[in-house]
């Protein structure tokens, strides 16, 4: 029997609430571990995330049958997925590094510029042109971040560069995914794509972690002897990183990509408010106005893209 509309609505609301909780939860716990707790190893933390995504993706597809398994059909497709994995890996590492130096509120303000970088990469790589109104909506997106940067009391140049780089990498992955996996035979849903990308990311991250954070394992073991909570933090944080992707897929499936975009804009604002309440990081009126302008620009951009289709 099909679920009653009320039950269906409750299910969707619960799904969105879970997606929000996982998104904001992993962001805040990343910030706590990397900055407040003093676990300053963003590459190792990202590797933990990718390891959890590898194991839980396999469990979801092979055992729980959340989605049917989609096989990699050729060596060329495998190399395309590996390229996406490398870019994805850089975006997550960059985002985690930025959280060492920047408050979550400013991190989210910079992250909201993703549509700007997506439009730039789409034009450079595919020569895809948008309408002039769509490009005009990107002006407040960028202007807002410039204003927020000038008014950010905790501004850190290296953290800002890493945050911008991570945002650009996320946009690049989106555009590359559309180019590399464009044919019907190569398209993968997000759960299957994560199933293949996450283990590749672990392989990319392992030598980098050993080279740049070589003593992290010994330090983690030493920390665990003093405070066993660090192991629970890492386990919970890594599991949430997977559930961000799973709930993202499920929300898109049960609503629409456009709804996801709108909810994503609101999620950023919610994350900003919660992070300020928890971490008590100083904020300025100028910074908040800049962030508000960026979000307003993103909403205009989404509306413009919807109307152009």
- Give 157-172 pLDDT, tens digit per residue: 999 999 999 999 999 9
pLDDT value of position 113: 94
Shortest CA distance to 152 belongs to which of 105, 196, 189?
105
pLDDT-derived band at 173, boundaries 50, 70, 90 = very high
Q: pTM of this prediction?
A: 0.91
Instruction: Quote the CA–CA distance of 226 and 19 in Å, as a whole number.
Output: 33
Render the burial of 275-300: b for 16+ CB within 10 Å, e for the rest. bbeeeebebeeebbebbbbbbebbbb
Q: Find the helix or strand (DSSP H, E) in which 133 lies.
A: helix 132-150
All structural domains of the chain with their residue ranges: 18-308
pLDDT value of position 309: 64
pLDDT value of position 4: 46
Q: Is the pLDDT of residue 246 over 70?
A: yes
Rounding to the nearest 10 degrees, give the CA dihedral for residues 51, 53, 58, 61.
180
pLDDT value of position 257: 67
pLDDT value of position 107: 95
Instruction: Quote the CA–CA distance of 126 and 263 in Å, as a whole number.
Output: 28
DSSP label of 143: H
Token output for 215:
């003593």
pLDDT value of position 267: 87
Q: What is the DSSP string of 227-243?
A: -THHHHHHHHHHHHHHH
pLDDT value of position 1: 39
Q: Which one is predicted more confidently, 308 or 174? A: 174
Neighbours of 233 (CB within 10 A): 18
Shortest CA distance to 182 belongs to which of 76, 294, 56, 286?
76
pLDDT value of position 6: 67
Least confident interval from 134-138, 148-152, 300-304: 300-304
pLDDT value of position 2: 44
pLDDT value of position 252: 87
pLDDT value of position 128: 83
Average model confidence (pLDDT) across the chain: 92
Instruction: Quote the CA–CA distance of 276 and 38 in Å, as a whole number.
Output: 19
Rounding to the nearest 10 degrees, give the CA dihedral for residues 91, 92, 94, 97.
170
Neighbours of 183 (CB within 10 A): 8
């Amino acid at each position: 029997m099909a679920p009653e509309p009320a039950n269906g609505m409750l299910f969707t609301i619960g799904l969105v609430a879970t997606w929000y909780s996982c998104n904001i939860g992993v962001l805040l716990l990343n910030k706590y571990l990397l900055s407040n707790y003093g676990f300053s190893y963003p590459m190792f933390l990202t590797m933990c995330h990718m390891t959890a995504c590898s194991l839980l993706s396999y469990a979801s597809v092979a055992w729980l049958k959340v989605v049917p398994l989609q096989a990699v059909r050729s060596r060329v497709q495998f190399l395309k997925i590996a390229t996406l994995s490398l870019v994805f890996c850089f975006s997550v590492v960059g985002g985690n590094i930025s959280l060492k130096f920047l408050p979550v509120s400013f991190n989210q303000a910079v992250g909201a510029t993703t549509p700007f970088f997506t439009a730039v990469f789409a034009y450079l790589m595919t020569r895809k042109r948008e309408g002039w109104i769509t490009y005009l909506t990107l002006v407040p997106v960028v202007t807002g971040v410039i204003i927020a940067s000038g008014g950010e009391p905790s501004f850190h140049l290296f953290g800002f560069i890493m945050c911008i780089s991570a945002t650009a990498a996320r946009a690049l992955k989106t555009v590359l995914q559309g180019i590399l996996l464009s044919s019907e035979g190569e398209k993968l849903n997000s759960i299957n794509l994560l199933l293949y990308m996450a283990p590749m990311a672990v392989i990319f991250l392992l030598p980098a972690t050993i080279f740049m954070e070589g003593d992290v394992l010994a330090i983690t073991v030493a920390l665990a002897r003093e405070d066993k909570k660090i192991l629970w933090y890492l386990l919970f944080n890594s599991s949430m990183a997977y559930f961000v992707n799973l709930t993202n897929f499920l929300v898109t499936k049960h609503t629409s990509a456009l709804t996801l975009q709108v909810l994503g804009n609101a999620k950023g604002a919610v994350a900003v408010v919660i992070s300020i309440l928890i971490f008590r990081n100083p904020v300025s009126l100028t910074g908040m106005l800049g962030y508000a302008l960026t979000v307003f620009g993103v909403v205009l951009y989404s509306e413009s893209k919807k109307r152009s289709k």
